[in-house]
Structure 1
Amino acid sequence: MSLLTLAVSVPGLKPPPCCESINGGGDCKKASTLQLAVFFGALYTLAIGTGGTKPNISTMGADQLDDFDPKEKSLKLSFFNWWVFSIFFGTLFANTILVYIQDNVGWTLGYALPTLGLAVSISIFLAGSPFYRHKLPTGSPFTKMARVIVAALKKWSLPLPTDPTQLYELDSEEYAKNVKFKIDPTPTLRFLNKASIKTGSIDPWILCSVTEVEETKQMIRMLPILVSTFVPSTMMAQVNTLFIKQGTTLNRRVGNFNIPPASLVGFVTASMLVTVVLYDRLFVKIMRRWTKNPRGVSLLQRMGIGMTLHIMVMTTASFMDRYRLSVARKNGLIENGGQVPLTIFILLPQFILMGAADAFLEVAKLEFFYDQAPESMKSLGTSYSTTTLGVGNFISSFLLSTVSEITQSHGRQGWILNNLNASHLDYYYAFFAILNCVNFLFFLFVVRFYVYKAEVSDSMDVLAKQLELMSSVKESNQQQLKPSLVQ
């Protein structure tokens, strides 16, 4: 962020302002190689830093709550709700105040403020480091998984023993000494169990423990779920691209103030913040009575609700753009691409629905990949969640260019043009709605065969009973305390 702030502040690191020409256009000089290197170097450094911090900070935060303590375990069920709430609260600040500062004051202050905020955050993080619960590194999870796969391939011709106890496994005392968790063998992905067949060799690339095999299985079992989240992540990319570009074609004036189209993203954030609070404080309590699940609904069910909302988002966006195009056609604004006499607030339904969808899907996705990952691979599990966002942006770019090229072939008018009044974003959004429906069916298919990892604290049922017992004891103590207070 410091380098990015310098890139928009120091005269030698940014291109000179454009000079107005006689015909009203702008005469702009190209950025030099140094200026481009500094600017893009800052962006790529920021991307690398974000990729390193996001999966690890959320994982470390969740690790501060003990799975074996009923009270802390119950708090952990809400951790990711409030974690995402805090993330998007900062996003709301960026999409409102910072966007206004960048448009009306300048980019220097617009980037200097988040740079200062990041410096304060780092200071707070370092100050709290002595009080955190730290887990010692246990080696690369990719190396562990690779050893299991290689060992299984080397012994692919060996028959599996009928008795699972004949497979190689460390003593329970060894796991207890190293504060690790022993996992029993499962029947799924049985081929990998061959990595634990004893052959006399203790080479880790030939012989792996049952727990190591099961950890690898857990990461592999989540891959189909990971793939099913690529399309919803692609939908999120539309918010910062086509949704905002739609806003530029509409009337943005409110009194004497022009609303920046990018600030509409703030409605996504605000909607998500409200939905997360309602979900955690109201929805979970209501559903818990019906399902007896301390989470209210399972993580995969929550993801399914989010995917259903994504279908509604794209369907709504398609109808809204069809209405916008009909008004543009009536006012003869198709060819010249003029401003459509409609308020920008007609786009609010799709922005608000997107925020609600994210509150269900994104939070559940983050918690699911953390919760279902093995204890020694939590950061890798959390990175599954952030990986889907990156893949979604790549898919979005691919679909945009591909659909644009196909729809403009053979002299036809394309769906996606620079002039949105002559485009057909309504068709493009309808295509996304259909794509979401197909992806939802794929999600239902893979969920049908997914088996949840056993809870560390025995089970969610045990946790529910413990919490219920704690609540009844508390009520009993209060009842006993009342007579003494009266006396």
Structure 2
Amino acid sequence: MDFLGCRQLEALPTYRQHYALVPLSNLPLSSGYLEQSLLPFCPTLEILLMETKGYTQDGTVDLHGRPVLASRTGKWKACAFLVGYEAFERMAFYGIASNLVVYLTTQLHEDTVSSVRNVNNWSGSVWMTPILGAYIADSYVGRFWTFTVSSLIYVMGMVLLTMAVSLKSLKPTCANGICNKASTLQIAFFYSSLYTIAVGAGGTKPNISTFGADQFDDFNPREKELKVSFFNWWMFSSFLGALVATLGLVYIQENLDWGLGYGIPTVGLLLSLFIFYMGTPNYRHKVRRTKSPARDLIRVPVTALVNRKLKLPNNPSELHELEQQHYINTGKRRVHQTPAFRFLDKAAIREGNVEASKPPCTVTQVEETKLVMGMALVWLVTLIPSTIWAQVNTLFVKQGTTLDRNLGPRFQIPAASLGSFVTLSMLLSVPLYDRYFVPFMRRRTGNPRGITLLQRLGTGFVIQVLVTVIAYAVELRRMDVIKEHGIVVAKDIVPMSIFWLLPQYILLGVADVFNAIGLLEFFYDQSPEDMQSLGTTFFTSGIGVGNFLNSFLVTMVDKITGRDGGKSWIGKNLNQSHLDYYYAFLLVISTLNLGAFWWVSSRFNYKREAIEVGERSLQVEGKALETSPLGLQV
């Protein structure tokens, strides 16, 4: 029998604009025989069969590598099994991070600078280890299995930490109000538990959110619309876990028992993992289309450097790119050429290629490298905002311990619980942003997101600058009250309500709706197709480096301002320090950083990619780039 070729398929009456649909009922062949017969001659028929059978169109599969039905898998039905873990993991993290500086100073008896430095170093590690976890997921075992192993390590760390704060043999002993210094073994066990959690977070943090985003098909208009709201509501569940930590767990830790305060999220994590695995039949898994996607990040600049003396062709179409059929067969998306980082285009020069033994890089490989370089520039200008956020769990808390925390005659608010107002403002702002702000701006701008991703980030950064202004003003007020009442001793309470700190906490929560959620979505959305787990580590590593940067700044400021017997800005006695000077310093650098962000964002090119179907190119992202009134790329 003669087989139909692709051209003949396209000529059939039911061939549509984007899919080569064959009227199967009109052909004298069984469906299974048809697939086996025609696929070798017409690879585009795979898309035809996926469409007619109701499979997902983005090539996702189940855990066993089989195509999945769009109606039975993915979307929010699958994400419902994921959000529980995210909520309990954030509860565990913030249950530790929010009050860790208090535990280190009151239980392990560390000084202020040491405790702030140790909190920042641990928090930084939690946010940096995802780089390794994302690389393993993208290059070797995938998101699901990386998350599976790492989540067990995370839980093990939580169990060890609960033991460290519960067992008497692992805590410093106290007698008659005098506590002994923690032994080397006790300190080693405590910090080993903390850093075991950091290792576990390395594999869970970059993969759970991207795995959730994978549950939406980019080629299904309805699912793509749902995906626009995904990161908003994903972070909503994250904020919910943080709220329980800062309101409930912090109080339990300080007033009831530290072991109970850490044990509750540990049990919650185990329960959420059980729920996660119950949802396995509903999950969609992305297929890795490149063996080692990160390798091109090295190959492209090296090849461009080797070809540096060659002249770029005037027509970009003369640069090396694989045939359209390659992208059809592999299902990989082709990225369009852009004018950014033009020197990298030399890696795709065909004629006169210095490395004649190897083919030149493709335009898609070059453009994916450009995407990562562009994201790296945006990442650099997120470090200072991350440093500002690091104050929430360190200096803001220590500042709060010096203020009047009484709420009635018998109840005293834990200083770390004020962090719950960051979360509360987030929880209130996310629905308002998603349900009102986005539709309103969408009508005005025509952008599906309402405003562009970089405009969203810029708005958040502006609010953060305002936070530093308020923090500086409140600290000036605290210093005036200290002078007015002649307070000298570190343990003396300043007669000023802790609720003076409330505005900076609330505004920081509003800022996070714009920049924290915006950053996660930006780095996922703009990452090359095969590096989306690795791409989201730009988000986590930015927070990590911000914590390390804050640790460095606190240490250096303390050493420089406290040398030769001078009064340190951040001394052991905050009542005799100059925290206002430090906040003024943060205000200056955050303002300068805002200018740097505007410069970077005004030159950023958004990703423009397409999937090849037959002889047509279906654009997935990126219309013609224009410049908005704010100078940010649309």
TM-score higher than 0.5 here? yes
Q: CA deviation at 1:196?
A: 2.1
Instruction: Provide the rounded CA distance (Å) in 2 between the counterparts of 1:326 and 1:163.
Output: 67
Structure 2 vs 1, CA of residues 131 and 178 (structure 1 numbering), >3 Å: closer, same or farther? farther
> Is 1:197 matched up with 2:361?
no
Cα pair distance change 1:5/1:412, threshold 3 Å: closer
Distance 2:348 2:357 in 1: 11
Task: Report 1:245-260 matches (<5 A).
Answer: 245-255=398-408, 256-260=410-414
Q: Partner residue of 2:165?
A: 8
In 1, the alpha carbon distance for the partners of 2:510 and 2:444 equals: 22
From 235, 241, 263, the equivalent of 2:388 is: 235
2: CA distance between counterparts of 1:178 and 1:62? 21
Q: Which has the larger helix fraction?
A: 1
The residue aligned with 2:539 is: 385
- Does structure 2 conserve the Cα–Cα contact (< 8 Å) formed by 1:233 and 1:393? yes
Q: Matches of 1:310 and 1:357 in 2, distance apart?
A: 6
Residue 18 of structure 1 is matched in structure 2 by 174
SS of equivalent residue, structure 1 residue 8: helix
Aligned pair partner of 1:174 in 326, 331, 343: 326
Q: Aligned pair 1:185/2:342, yes or no?
A: no
Q: Return the alpha-carbon distance in structure 1 between the equivalents of residues 357 and 208 of structure 2.
A: 34
Deviation for aligned residue 1:292: 1.7
> Which of 57, 65, 71 is the aligned partner of 2:208?
57
Q: Are the equivalent residues in 1 in contact too, given 2:294–2:531 (CA < 8 A)?
A: no
Q: Report 1:254-403 matches (<5 A).
A: 254-255=407-408, 256-334=410-488, 338-403=492-557
Higher deviation after alignment, 391-400 or 406-415:
406-415
**2:187 aligned partner, one-letter code:** L
* Alpha-carbon distance between aligned partners in 1 of 2:337 and 2:451, rounded to the nearest angstrom: 28
Following superposition, the deviation at residue 200 of structure 1 comes to 9.4
TM superposition score normalised by structure 1: 0.88
Larger mean Cα displacement after TM superposition, 106-115 or 308-317: 106-115
Aligned residue-pair number: 455
Aligned-pair RMSD on alpha carbons?
Answer: 2.1
Give 1:72 deviation, angstroms: 1.1
For 1:478, the equivalent position in structure 2 comes to none
Distance 1:378 1:203, change over 3 A: farther
The answer to which of 311-320 and 126-135 deviates more is: 126-135
Question: TM-score under structure 2 normalisation?
Answer: 0.69
C-alpha contact (below 8 Å) 1:321/1:425 kept by paired residues: yes
For 1:392-471, list aligned pairs within 5 A.
Answer: 392-454=546-608, 457-459=619-621
415-424 or 393-402, which moves further after superposition? 415-424
- Give SS of 2:313's match: coil
Q: CA deviation at 1:141?
A: 3.1
Q: Per the alignment, do residues 349 and 127 of structure 1 end up closer, same or farther by CA in structure 2, a change over 3 Å counting? A: same
Deviations 1:262-315 (A, max 9, x none): 111111111111111211111112212221212111111111111111111011
CA distance in 2 between counterparts of 1:458 and 1:15 reads 56
Q: Provide the rounded CA distance (Å) in 2 between the counterparts of 1:236 and 1:229.
A: 11
Which residue among 294, 303, 312 is the counterpart of 1:160? 312
Who is 1:28 aligned against? 180
Q: Once the 2 structures are TM-superposed, how far is the Cα of residue 11 of structure 1 from its aligned partner?
A: 4.3
SS of aligned partner of 1:258: coil
Q: Which amino acid aligns with 1:134?
A: H
Q: Which residue of 2 is the match for residue 101 of structure 1?
A: 252
Shift of 1:406: 2.3
Which moves more between the two structures, 126-135 or 253-262?
126-135
Q: Residue type of the partner of 1:64?
A: Q
| TM superposition shift of 1:144 | 2.1
Q: Which runs of 5+ in 2 are unaligned?
A: 1-157, 611-618, 625-634
Change (3 A) 1:207 1:413: same
Q: Which runs of 5 or more structure 1 residues have no equivalent in the other structure?
A: 463-487
- Structure 1 equivalent of residue 55 of structure 2: none
2: CA distance between counterparts of 1:16 and 1:226? 41
**Counterpart secondary structure, 2:568:** coil
Secondary structure, aligned partner of 2:234: helix
Q: Which moved more, 1:219-228 or 1:424-433?
A: 424-433
Aligned equivalents of 1:16 and 1:334: distance in 2? 29
Shift of 1:201: 6.5
Going from structure 1 to structure 2, the CA distance change for 1:115 and 1:203 (only over 3 Å counts) comes to farther
Write the distance in 2 (CA, Å) between the matches of 1:132 and 1:303: 31
**What SS does structure 2 have at the residue aligned with 1:246?**
helix
Give the whole-Å Cα distance in 2 for the aligned partners of 1:105 and 1:286.
47
Q: Say which SS state the counterpart of residue 340 (structure 2) adopts.
A: coil
Asked whether the 8 Å contact 1:18–1:29 carries over to 2, the reply is: no
Do the aligned partners of 1:251 and 1:343 also contact (CA within 8 Å) in 2? yes
Deviations 1:208-257 (A, max 9, x none): 22211111111011111110000000001101111111111111111211
Deviation (angstroms), 1:5: 2.0
Aligned to 1:82: 233
